[in-house]
C-alpha cells in the first residue's frame, strides 16, 4: 500500500454509516457488510450508466486496505474502466469519512451485465449518466 490515499474525483455512488450491529468485538465492521455495500454501489452505478437493471457477473478483484470502524461514514465511488455491448467493468472504492482525514477501506474490480426484464443481457448506450 505504497500509493497515497486519493479519493476519486467522481461523485459518490453510495454514502452510509457503518452500523454498530455489524461490528466485531474490537469495533471493526465485518467484511461481509462492506461487500454488501459494494453490491449496492455497483447496482446503483450500473443502473445510472445503462438506464436499467444490471447484475454482477463477477468480482474480479477485491482488496481490503484498512479497517472500517462502527459509526464511521462509508462512501463509495465507481469509475467505468471498460464497456462492451452489454457488459462493463467498474472500479469501486470505499472510503471512511471520519471527522478527520479520509482513508481508503477497500477497492474492487467488478464485471456487470445490463439485463432486460427477463434477466437476459441487453445492449445499452455506453454513455455514462450522472
Q: What is the pTM of this model?
A: 0.88
Q: Tell me the three-class secondary structure of 1-59, residue by residue.
A: CCCCCCCCCCCCCEEEECCHHHECCCCEECHHHHHHHHHHHHHHHHHHHHCCCEEEEEE
How many structural domains comprise the chain?
1
- Average pLDDT over the chain reads 91
Integer angstrom CA distances of residue 126 from 50, 75, 82, 92: 7, 25, 10, 18
The answer as to whether 49 is a domain residue is: yes
What is the residue range of 23's domain? 14-114
pLDDT, tens digit, for every residue of 63-100? 999 999 999 999 999 999 999 999 999 999 999 987 67
Integer angstrom CA distances of residue 83 from 24, 28, 78: 38, 35, 14
CATH number of the domain residue 26 falls in: 3.10.129.10
Q: What size, in residues, is the chain? A: 130
- Look at residue 1 and tell me whether its pLDDT is greater than 50: no
Amino acid at each position: 500500500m505504497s500509493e497515497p490515499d486519493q479519493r476519486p474525483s467522481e461523485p459518490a455512488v453510495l454514502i452510509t454509516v457503518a452500523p454498530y450491529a455489524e461490528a466485531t468485538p474490537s469495533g471493526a465492521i465485518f467484511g461481509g457488510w462492506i461487500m454488501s455495500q459494494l453490491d449496492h454501489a455497483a447496482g446503483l452505478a450500473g443502473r445510472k450508466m445503462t438506464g436499467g437493471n444490471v447484475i454482477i457477473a463477477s468480482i474480479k478483484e477485491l482488496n481490503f486496505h484498512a479497517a472500517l470502524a462502527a459509526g464511521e461514514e462509508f462512501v463509495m465511488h465507481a469509475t467505468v474502466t471498460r464497456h462492451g455491448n452489454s457488459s462493463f467493468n467498474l472500479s469501486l472504492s470505499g472510503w471512511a469519512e471520519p471527522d478527520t482525514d479520509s482513508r481508503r477501506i477497500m477497492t474492487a474490480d467488478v464485471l456487470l451485465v445490463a439485463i432486460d426484464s427477463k434477466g437476459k443481457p441487453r445492449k445499452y448506450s455506453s454513455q455514462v449518466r450522472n
